[in-house]
Structure 1
Amino acid sequence: MEDELIDSSRLSLPRKSVLPGAGFFYPDSLDESRAEERAEEKLEDATVAVVTDTDADGLGCVALVREAYGAALDVADFEDRLEERLSEDDEDDEDDEDVALEPDEEEERPKSPVALVGSSPYSLEDDLLRVAEYAPEGIEVFVCDLCPDKFEYVEEELKALTEVAGEIHWYDHHQWKPEVEKQVRDAGVDLVVGESDEECSTDVTLRELDYDFHDRFVDLAAVTRDHDLWLNEDERSQDLADYAYWTSKEEYVAIVGTYGADLPPVVEEYIAQRRIEKENLIEAAIDRAEMKTVGDWTVGITYGRCSQNEVADALRESGADAAVVVKPAGSASIRGSDDFERCHEVAGLVNGGGHPKAAGCKPDIYDDMLDYAHHWTTQGATTKRVILNAFERVAEMPEEDEDIETER
């Protein structure tokens, strides 16, 4: 397949809004091979490893751990490269008004003795095993901002990790099942789970690390919490969330580790440039939204490549108790409100999980590329139907029904 076919910079915004980014079209085997190489490279000389989600909350945890262990990378190199990217984008804009801005590829950087192993709920077990395979014996391990639905998903990997690691700490704030908490602790892990509706994982890490942090890190945790718990009371929190999504993991950690939540001018300029297209994609998703009645709730549901939080806010302002944003890659974000705090229950029925007011899922309905082609051309019709059916099932159940079995 020609590279041009998956190059978003060649697409008009309406077409870009309904198709996934270039990374979607790379086979998992290629991603896995690259992940193995990167993990081995990062871990071979590391003294500490942080396996973390790669949003602002998870990466905020890495910034704290590196500060506590004196392992922060020099920020100057990252700022210089960011200046270069801005200059290149300005030159491109002169020739093409529809320049696509994909998340930046991880570039070669100096290595930190605190290795950053980016993970997700769907790759957690693989990433734990990579640390067990490639890290030196006695390494200290932190797992941050991740929660397994079942202990069996990580049982063998944790066993392998405990045979290598000196200590394993796990800091999180998601909704944990009591039996999974107990089993993880019984496996020899120092597990600390913060209050899901009061703390983010950066808060938990700040509290649990035995280190006297500068006030900028306290502020960073507070602003990260503002976004991660959907409080939206600090205008800086959206900048952190966008920057974490748009740039490389290492760059984000270096920048916030140096500046905290008060990002430097070069980063603010970069965010402003990226946000132009972001706002257009948000508007496209809002315009195609529908309101559905499920039980006593109004569910706003839409499709598109967009920032789900702002879209969800707009749907709630239009009267939705819950908002669903189906993505071109097949996943979906579910956002609640004061009138709907069962997002994690809905997601648990369709291969996902999360918080009462914020959850994510990816229904297991894609058997081949024809299914994805149907997904794009119908703007997620099947996925929408499956998720709305899950809302209907939850509406028939008592709240927090323990019999809900999370699919995966």
Structure 2
Amino acid sequence: MDDSLIDTEDLSLSRKSRLPGAGFFYPDSLDEEYADRRAREAIEGADVVVVADGDADGLGCVALLRERYDAALDVAPFEESLAARTDPDVADDEDDEDDEDREESPVGLVTASPHSLDAALERVAEYADPGVDVYVCDLCPDDESIAEVVGDIVDRAESTRWFDHHQWDDDVAAAVRDAGADLVIGDSDEECTADVTLRSLDYDFPDHLVDLAAVTRDHDLWIREDPRSDDVADYAHWASAEEYVTVVGQYGPALPDPVVDYLDQRRVEKQQLIEAAVDRAEMESVGPWTVGVTYGRCSQNEVAETLREQGADAAVIVKPAGSASIRGSDDFEHAHEVAGLVNGGGHPQAAGCKPDIYDDMLDYAHHWTTEGYATKQVILAAFEQVAHEVDE
């Protein structure tokens, strides 16, 4: 297939917002091969291994752990790369040095999502040197089957600690603890995982990292009282994991000028994609709630906030890749219940899912050309079910 067909950079904004990124079209086998190679490079020879979610909260935990173990990377190469990225005289294919060419920290990082958590832990159990310290941050397993691989890691490691703030099933938490992991779960209404990590480590952290945890909480719990929280969230989303961890480890949430310039550039298109998704939104009445439903590649939190300002109790943002974000409000704290009915989970006011309705590429073609019609209907049906349960 011609690469230009999956490269959305030169598409109009309208078409770009309706299609997934190029990575969607790569076979899972290639992704798995790449993920395995990168994980092995990070794990083998490391003194400490961290498996973390790749968002600002999970990566903030990694920055804290690298500070704790005096294992931060040199920030200068990343700053040079950032400066080049915002220089209009530098071509796109010359603006960034590959992470593979940089030094590696003795605190190895393996990023994972809830769906890839099992595979990430299996790689730790296979590749980690005996006697390492292992941490899992900002990830919640779906069921008790995770306990087996956790036990394998515990047998291999010197210590195995797990920090999180999501809502855990009691049986899953008990299984992880019975396997030998030191599991600390914070109150998801009060703490982000960076908070949990900060208070769980016996270390006197510098002020800029204490501040980082507070700003991360402001974003992750959708408090939005600190304007810097949008900066760390956007930077974590757009930068590589190693770049983000290194830069915030050095500066905390007071991001340096090259990062600010980079964010300013990226936000022009970000705002346009937000506006496109908001323009497509429709308000649906489900039980006692008004649900704003839309489709597109966009920053779901900002779209959800706009829909709430327009009167929605909850917002559903369906993505071109087939997944969806569900965001609630003070009048709707059942997002995790809705997501749980459609192959997902999360928090009462913030959850994600990917309905199991895509059998082949024709289903995805229908998804793109109808702006997620089938996915929207499945999720709205889940809202109806939750509304019925609440009513009862």
TM-score range with shorter-chain normalisation? over 0.9
Report the alpha carbon displacement of residue 90 of structure 1 after superposing the two structures with TM. 5.4
Report the alpha carbon displacement of residue 39 of structure 1 after superposing the two structures with TM. 1.2
2:219 aligned partner, one-letter code: H
1:261-320: CA deviation from partner (whole Å, max 9, x where unpaired) = 000000000000000000000000000000000000000000000000000000000000
Kindly indicate whether residue 372 of structure 2 is the aligned counterpart of residue 384 of structure 1.
no
Give 3-state SS (helix, strand or coil) of 1:202's partner.
Answer: helix
Equivalent in the alignment of 1:283: 275
Kindly indicate whether the alpha-carbon contact (under 8 Å) linking 2:50 and 2:134 is maintained by their aligned counterparts in 1.
yes
For 2:173 and 2:390, locate their aligned partners in 1 and report how far apart those are by CA, in whole Å.
23
Kindly indicate whether the alpha-carbon contact (under 8 Å) linking 1:51 and 1:144 is maintained by their aligned counterparts in 2.
yes
1:64-113: CA deviation from partner (whole Å, max 9, x where unpaired) = 000000000000011011112222x5556xxxxxx9xxx99755321000
1:338-366: CA deviation from partner (whole Å, max 9, x where unpaired) = 00000000000000000000000000111
Q: 1:227 to 1:218 in 2, by over 3 A?
A: same
Kindly indicate whether residue 167 of structure 2 is the aligned counterpart of residue 179 of structure 1.
no
Kindly indicate whether residue 352 of structure 2 is the aligned counterpart of residue 360 of structure 1.
yes
1:376 aligned partner, one-letter code: W
Kindly indicate whether the alpha-carbon contact (under 8 Å) linking 2:194 and 2:213 is maintained by their aligned counterparts in 1.
yes
Kindly indicate whether residue 106 of structure 2 is the aligned counterpart of residue 113 of structure 1.
yes
For 1:182 and 1:104, locate their aligned partners in 2 and report how far apart those are by CA, in whole Å.
44
1:225-245: CA deviation from partner (whole Å, max 9, x where unpaired) = 000000011000001000000
Report the alpha carbon displacement of residue 178 of structure 1 after superposing the two structures with TM. 1.2
Kindly indicate whether residue 21 of structure 2 is the aligned counterpart of residue 21 of structure 1.
yes
For 1:106 and 1:203, locate their aligned partners in 2 and report how far apart those are by CA, in whole Å.
28
For 2:330 and 2:47, locate their aligned partners in 1 and report how far apart those are by CA, in whole Å.
44
Q: Of the candidates 128, 133, 140, which is equivalent to residue 147 of structure 1?
A: 140
Q: Of the candidates 260, 263, 266, which is equivalent to residue 252 of structure 2?
A: 260
Q: Of the candidates 231, 239, 253, which is equivalent to residue 247 of structure 1?
A: 239
For 1:24 and 1:299, locate their aligned partners in 2 and report how far apart those are by CA, in whole Å.
28
Report the alpha carbon displacement of residue 163 of structure 1 after superposing the two structures with TM. 2.1
For 1:162 and 1:171, locate their aligned partners in 2 and report how far apart those are by CA, in whole Å.
15
The 5 Å alignment of 1:205-216 reads 205-216=197-208
1:264 aligned partner, one-letter code: P
Number of equivalent positions: 390
Equivalent in the alignment of 2:223: 231
For 2:167 and 2:142, locate their aligned partners in 1 and report how far apart those are by CA, in whole Å.
9
For 1:10 and 1:382, locate their aligned partners in 2 and report how far apart those are by CA, in whole Å.
28
Report the alpha carbon displacement of residue 162 of structure 1 after superposing the two structures with TM. 1.8
The 5 Å alignment of 1:70-89 reads 70-87=70-87, 89=88
Give 3-state SS (helix, strand or coil) of 2:326's partner.
Answer: strand
Equivalent in the alignment of 2:58: 58
Aligned-pair RMSD on alpha carbons? 1.6
Equivalent in the alignment of 1:123: 116
Q: 1:225 to 1:264 in 2, by over 3 A?
A: same
For 1:269 and 1:243, locate their aligned partners in 2 and report how far apart those are by CA, in whole Å.
11
Q: 1:250 to 1:86 in 2, by over 3 A?
A: same
Report the alpha carbon displacement of residue 386 of structure 1 after superposing the two structures with TM. 0.3
Alignment gaps of 5+ in structure 2: none
Kindly indicate whether the alpha-carbon contact (under 8 Å) linking 1:146 and 1:172 is maintained by their aligned counterparts in 2.
yes
Q: 1:306 to 1:106 in 2, by over 3 A?
A: farther
Q: 1:73 to 1:278 in 2, by over 3 A?
A: same
Report the alpha carbon displacement of residue 367 of structure 1 after superposing the two structures with TM. 0.7
For 2:366 and 2:101, locate their aligned partners in 1 and report how far apart those are by CA, in whole Å.
38
Give 3-state SS (helix, strand or coil) of 2:86's partner.
Answer: helix
Between stretches 158-167 and 340-349, larger displacement belongs to 158-167
Kindly indicate whether the alpha-carbon contact (under 8 Å) linking 1:350 and 1:361 is maintained by their aligned counterparts in 2.
yes
1:212 aligned partner, one-letter code: D
Kindly indicate whether the alpha-carbon contact (under 8 Å) linking 1:104 and 1:246 is maintained by their aligned counterparts in 2.
no
For 2:147 and 2:101, locate their aligned partners in 1 and report how far apart those are by CA, in whole Å.
33
Q: Of the candidates 310, 313, 326, which is equivalent to residue 305 of structure 2?
A: 313
Kindly indicate whether the alpha-carbon contact (under 8 Å) linking 1:49 and 1:116 is maintained by their aligned counterparts in 2.
yes
Q: 1:283 to 1:104 in 2, by over 3 A?
A: farther
Kindly indicate whether the alpha-carbon contact (under 8 Å) linking 1:173 and 1:204 is maintained by their aligned counterparts in 2.
yes
Equivalent in the alignment of 1:47: 47
For 1:109 and 1:210, locate their aligned partners in 2 and report how far apart those are by CA, in whole Å.
30
Kindly indicate whether the alpha-carbon contact (under 8 Å) linking 1:326 and 1:333 is maintained by their aligned counterparts in 2.
yes
For 2:387 and 2:89, locate their aligned partners in 1 and report how far apart those are by CA, in whole Å.
51
TM-score when normalising by structure 1? 0.93
For 2:97 and 2:292, locate their aligned partners in 1 and report how far apart those are by CA, in whole Å.
31
Equivalent in the alignment of 2:131: 138
The 5 Å alignment of 1:5-16 reads 5-16=5-16
Kindly indicate whether the alpha-carbon contact (under 8 Å) linking 1:106 and 1:249 is maintained by their aligned counterparts in 2.
no
TM-score when normalising by structure 2? 0.97
